Structure 1
């Protein structure tokens, strides 16, 4: 796929393919709890580090270093890495190691397509059958918290609440399991969404308005309006291609991240 044309030919000042941080440094302040399995927690921690580009494409993830940093055995780490490989975030190379995969634009666009198709159906179903559900009622609380996060520039919280709201769309539709399927396909969507934020390609104020339109339609049991509001929010595949085309600085940055290998072992070329 070829993306062309834009006034934005440079990335933001100071943004380069930065030196990577060690696993020990990145996990130094992370705490495991008894609320979830070790595999799920390790998978979530590494997912966040990779999608926030703290673990960089090509960087090796050492099971030994993760085990030492979290003070656990290698077994749950190995299982967590298998989950991440299934999601496309790492590649496990026998007799070599586990490496963060390159950011893949085509997988990103596929994830965008998957999400709009599944989520438009989910909000439609939520408006039909779940307008009075606990999940639909919780949407009001999440929206209020997200507005506070926006007003106070607590953008990390804004993102977490964004994810929770979209999860509630599926729960209100009685499709909680589908959300898990969607999330497994969203690895590159999450990485590029984070890079967009770094490059000031943001529309948070508009996102709040769009979220409110979706929630209003669900809570007032209007399936057509809910589906249209969701499509307006996520956008079509053509729209997303246009966004990327208008920001080649972002594409150049992704190319730099994918091409600059960290020191130490170098990842073998991904399949």
Structure 2
């Protein structure tokens, strides 16, 4: 649980390359709910996206009342959505105080990277063994082409979204789509740090696009070993991820200032 001092102080510190956080009302101004899907599911998804994209910052208050008013919803589905976010490890619900976005945890980042590498390696191997699935191959090609267009337009948010779509498509082609959703439960802090890199202009779009094309080519050829190796090269080993994070002290500084109890450098050193 975060102390009241940490809550108020964490959002007030200024990071030169990071804009001041917007209010919930501002962030939800263009959003609306529909009756084709459970309200709690829609609200959970909206808040999850805002937290993972760092539009809602670590330590920032997520007011139940403000969310309900902005979305013209009752407090009940908002409260249930916040409980789901707490189960996701993204919100701390503090009795008689409010709900606060949790700090980014280096340990969760490391565990998420490890889990993704293990599960997705198996997925691309299996996808390569199903390379007679022409519809899935066409879908992979389409996503890669859309990523290329997003890169040319310097639309980094869409590029990230398409990155997620492509990796999800690997699991679909492998016939284990549900595993992608299981994996997603471990990726919140991985994706928050990925967005932190994007905001800090630590990007490698052309290289990512090249690596994606290679994975798809290996799958098309039915080369399971080649597809797995291409994925490992793309995602990088756990050691590579840790080295990359350690090479950008400004990222660690941001993470640690949002949570003074974080021991990111020491955690990285132990790995």
Per the normalisation by structure 2, the TM-score is 0.86
2:180 matched to which residue of 1? 179
1:56 matched to which residue of 2? 57
1:142 positional shift: 0.6
Q: Distance in 2 between matches of 1:254 and 1:90?
A: 16
Q: Distance in 2 between matches of 1:203 and 1:87?
A: 29
1:35 positional shift: 4.8
Q: Distance in 1 between matches of 2:40 and 2:225?
A: 40
Aligned residues: 248
Choose 113-122 or 46-55, whichever is displaced more.
Answer: 46-55
RMSD: 2.0
Output one character per residue of 1:99-131: Cα deviation in whole Å (capped at 9) or x when no partner.
Answer: 100111111111011101100001111111354
Q: Describe the shift of the 1:240–1:131 C-alpha distance in structure 2 as closer, same or farther (beyond 3 A).
A: farther
1:34 positional shift: 4.4
Q: Distance in 2 between matches of 1:159 and 1:36?
A: 25
2:235 matched to which residue of 1? 234
Q: Distance in 2 between matches of 1:249 and 1:127?
A: 39
Q: Which has the higher contact order (CA 8 A, sep 6+)?
A: 1
Q: Describe the shift of the 1:195–1:131 C-alpha distance in structure 2 as closer, same or farther (beyond 3 A).
A: farther
Q: Describe the shift of the 1:193–1:212 C-alpha distance in structure 2 as closer, same or farther (beyond 3 A).
A: same
Q: Distance in 2 between matches of 1:85 and 1:133?
A: 41
1:164 positional shift: 0.4
Matches within 5 A, 1:10-159: 14-15=16-17, 19-129=20-130, 131-132=132-133, 134-159=135-160
The gaps in structure 2 that reach 5 residues or longer are 1-14, 261-271
1:134 positional shift: 3.0
Q: Distance in 1 between matches of 2:143 and 2:90?
A: 29
The gaps in structure 1 that reach 5 residues or longer are 1-12, 260-271
